[in-house]
Amino acid sequence: YTILSKVHSDRNVYPSAGVLFVHVLEREYFKGEFPPYAKPGEVSNDPITFNTNLMGYPDRPGWLRYIQRTPYSDGVLYGSPTVENVGKPTIIEITAYNRRTFETARHNLIINIMSAEDFPLPYQAEFFIRNMNVEEMLASEVLGDFLGAVKNVWQPERLNAINITSALDRGGRVPLPINDMKEGVYVMVGADVPFSSCLREVENPQNQLRCSQEMEPVITCDKKFRTQFHIDWCKISLV
């Protein structure tokens, strides 16, 4: 057999420094590059994995993470670009591997980091969400729901997602595969107004005592999140 390599055209994106950047590597986008060789009436669903690296280097820039759970799911590049990289194009080489035919397809993602006019937002809060994995949280509709809940309890004029980090990247353990347990994810957001009284409730002595005893603190606005997001209020960080 012949192993073919196809090259896509470059793609430019323009994220802002200090604001969460998410780029999905869609399997459907690459599947057209690989001959299906499927039997009549069958739909091709070849396993496809991706390799991502900074051009000329074996790995990605420090601020950029990548996740793909299985060869049958999309890959996701995500992270918070730094101010130091503003004005310097960051070229990420993306290689898709068809694990059935051993073919590859390549293209470059050119990340043009822009300076954000409203950055830095002076008040930043980091939440730990227990019932989410990182790729679930990166989905635009889920992240939008979370930011909507935060906006509801904080009431800022400007609110940005700054960064998302899997608990596994903070030393967390891989959860047991029972009851659909999640690894948990940290989400940092920034706003332009001081923290609301609800967000500061975790700082009162009674809640600090409850946290020290590994008990749930009493947070009046928790119900704004609880239907979708289980917040560990003892791990909230206000800066």
pLDDT, one tens digit per residue, over 68-80 is 999 999 999 999 9
Contacts of 73 (CB under 8 A, 6+ apart): 27, 135
Please name every residue paired with 24 in a beta bridge, in sequence order, or none if there are none: 76
2 confidence band (pLDDT: 50, 70, 90)? very low
3-state secondary structure of 169: helix
pLDDT tens digit sequence for 174-187: 665 566 778 899 99
Q: Are residues 72 and 138 in the same domain?
A: no
Q: Edge-to-edge, what's the strand order for the sheet holding 237-238?
A: 159-166, 185-191, 123-129, 237-238
Q: Are residues 30 and 88 in the same domain?
A: yes
Q: Are residues 192 and 217 in the same domain?
A: yes
Closest CA to 77 of 32, 15, 147: 15
- In the chain, the number of structural domains is 2
Which tokens is 80 given?
């918070």
Q: Domain span at residue 21?
A: 6-113
Q: Edge-to-edge, what's the strand order for the sheet holding 75-79?
A: 21-25, 75-79, 64-67
pLDDT tens digit sequence for 155-175: 999 999 999 999 988 886 766
- pTM (2 decimals)? 0.85
Domain limit, last residue, from 113, 141, 158: 113
Looking at every residue in the chain, the average pLDDT score rounds to 88
Domain limit, last residue, from 78, 113, 148: 113
Q: Is residue 32 part of a domain?
A: yes
Identify the pLDDT of residue 42. 60
Say how many CA atoms lie within 13 Å of 180 toward its Cβ.
2
Which residue type does 152 have? N
Q: Are residues 85 and 12 in the same domain?
A: yes
